[in-house]
């Protein structure tokens, strides 16, 4: 009995694997979810699909949104894209795309787009029926499904407000350390003179929370605020403003020059020539002494 069960498991496992991997939906850069911004509502996003094995489609390949994916779209749900059975090649295919607009998400079936302060998670489901069991055509009536899905998140919730931990005065620059909220993917720093002129923005990944803002004027006070931006491009409210004033600093080279040091920099070519001359002279002397000896 146990041998029979093992044999059955071995026979059915490849079929199950084939069904779960035959059809694949994927996102750019191997991302695990597609975050959709609050607006514009007609923004088009795309998902790539591929079919990895040779198969006989029994019906169209359909794509739809749901909170969980079944074999087929639930009745009453909108199918956002269909690939007719006749257009399915039946052989392995890659690089196909399915597109949708933000306003096609189920959230907007009974609400206006855009929606404020929402974070709704859906799955983009894809499924195509194929002959079931050991059948090689669809006439038997037995069906299996090649299916796949990816997570799609409508995110109109801005990240929490970041905080500026420290502003350090450097020479013609400021060093600003920002504490980023968890859901941020980028940080933006706005720098403006205390009198309101010369505004600039610096933008960097949340992996680098230390900003170095260059080309500032020593002795001028700057006001600095930070905002956090999430993967769906929602921007937080600005942080509390901090101020900093770049100052002239002296490094080792300044101190050396002030003390009367004569170094001008450069590779020391003249001395290099001298050194090379010595090496050649020694080599010549050695060669001539060997010749004399022989």
Partner 1 sequence: MSRAVALGVLALLGALPSQALEVSDAPTLSTHSPRTGALEFKLGGYKPRIDTEAGLTDTPYANTFGNESMLLFEVEMQRYFFQRFGSAGVGFSAGYAEKYSDAVTETGELAAEKTALKVVPLKLNALYKFDYAAFRWGVPLVPYGKLGLIYMPWWINKGDSTQQLDDRSGKGGRWGYGLTLGASFLLDVLEPRLARDFDTDLGVNHSYIFAEWTYAEVNNFGSSGLVLSSRHWMFGLALDY
Q: How far is CA 263 from CA 249, 266, 268, 270, in A?
A: 20, 9, 10, 14
Residue 3 or 262 having the CB closest to partner 1: 262
Least distance between partner 1 and beta carbon 216 (Å): 12
179: nearest Cα among 167, 171, 170: 167
Structure tokens at 18: 């084939």
One of 264, 289, 292, 294 touching partner 1 (CB under 8 A): 264
Tell me: does residue 265 bind partner 1 (CB under 8 A).
yes
- Give the three-class secondary structure for 5: helix
- Give the three-class secondary structure for 202: strand
Tell me: does residue 255 bind partner 1 (CB under 8 A).
yes
Least distance between partner 1 and beta carbon 286 (Å): 11
Residue 213 has φ and ψ, to the nearest 5°, of -100, 115
Q: How far is CA 255 from CA 99, 194, 251, in A?
A: 63, 32, 7
Tell me: does residue 281 bind partner 1 (CB under 8 A).
no
Least distance between partner 1 and beta carbon 244 (Å): 10
Least distance between partner 1 and beta carbon 278 (Å): 8
Distance CA 210, CA 119 (A): 29
One of 5, 259, 292, 294 touching partner 1 (CB under 8 A): 259
One of 247, 280, 281, 283 touching partner 1 (CB under 8 A): 247
Tell me: does residue 212 bind partner 1 (CB under 8 A).
yes
Least distance between partner 1 and beta carbon 282 (Å): 9
- Give the three-class secondary structure for 203: strand
Write the interaction track for partner 1 spanning residues 162-201; mark x where CB under 8 A is met and - where it is not: ------xxxx-x-x--------------------------
Distance CA 71, CA 128 (A): 8
Structure tokens at 26: 């994927």
60: nearest Cα among 98, 27, 26: 98
Site residues for partner 1, window 12-31 (CB under 8 A)?
A: none
Tell me: does residue 285 bind partner 1 (CB under 8 A).
no
Give the number of other CB atoms < 10 A from CB of residue 217: 12
Tell me: does residue 251 bind partner 1 (CB under 8 A).
yes
Choose the binding region for partner 1 from 14-22, 114-122, 186-194, 246-254 (rule: CB under 8 A). Answer: 246-254
Residue 13 or 275 having the CB closest to partner 1: 275
One of 97, 252, 290, 294 touching partner 1 (CB under 8 A): 252
∠ CA(60), CA(63), CA(65), 5° rounding? 150
Choose the binding region for partner 1 from 23-31, 116-124, 152-160, 253-261 (rule: CB under 8 A). Answer: 253-261
Structure tokens at 33: 């979810």
Residue 134 or 264 having the CB closest to partner 1: 264
Distance CA 294, CA 284 (A): 16
* Residues at the site binding partner 1, with contacts judged by CB under 8 A: 168-171, 173, 175, 212, 247-268, 270-272, 274-275, 278-279
């Amino acid at each position: 009995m146990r041998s029979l069960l093992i044999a059955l498991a071995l026979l059915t496992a490849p079929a199950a694997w084939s069904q779960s991997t035959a059809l694949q939906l994927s996102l750019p850069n191997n991302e695990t979810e597609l975050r959709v911004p609050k607006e514009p509502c007609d923004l088009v996003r795309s998902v790539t699909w591929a079919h990895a094995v040779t198969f006989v489609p029994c019906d169209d390949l359909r794509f739809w949104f749901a909170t969980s994916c079944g074999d087929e779209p639930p009745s009453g749900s909108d199918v956002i894209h269909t690939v007719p059975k006749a257009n399915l090649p039946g052989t392995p295919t890659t690089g196909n795309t399915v597109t949708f607009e933000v306003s096609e998400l189920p959230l907007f079936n009974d609400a206006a787009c855009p929606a404020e302060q929402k974070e709704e998670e859906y799955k983009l489901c894809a499924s195509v029926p194929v002959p079931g069991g050991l059948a090689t055509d669809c006439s038997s009536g037995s069906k299996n499904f090649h299916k796949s899905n990816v997570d799609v998140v409508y995110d109109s919730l801005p990240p929490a407000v970041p905080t500026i931990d420290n502003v350090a005065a450097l020479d013609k620059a400021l060093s600003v350390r920002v504490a980023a909220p968890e859901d941020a993917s980028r940080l933006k720093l706005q720098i403006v003179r205390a009198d309101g002129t010369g505004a600039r923005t610096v933008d960097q990944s949340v992996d680098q929370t230390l900003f170095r803002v260059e080309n500032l004027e020593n002795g001028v006070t700057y006001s600095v605020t930070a905002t956090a931006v999430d993967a769906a491009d929602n921007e937080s409210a600005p942080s509390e403003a901090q101020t900093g004033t770049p100052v002239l600093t002296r490094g080792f080279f300044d101190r050396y020059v002030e003390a009367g040091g004569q170094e001008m920099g450069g590779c020391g070519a003249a001395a290099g020539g001298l050194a090379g001359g010595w090496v050649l002279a020694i080599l010549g002397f050695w060669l001539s002494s060997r010749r004399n000896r022989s």
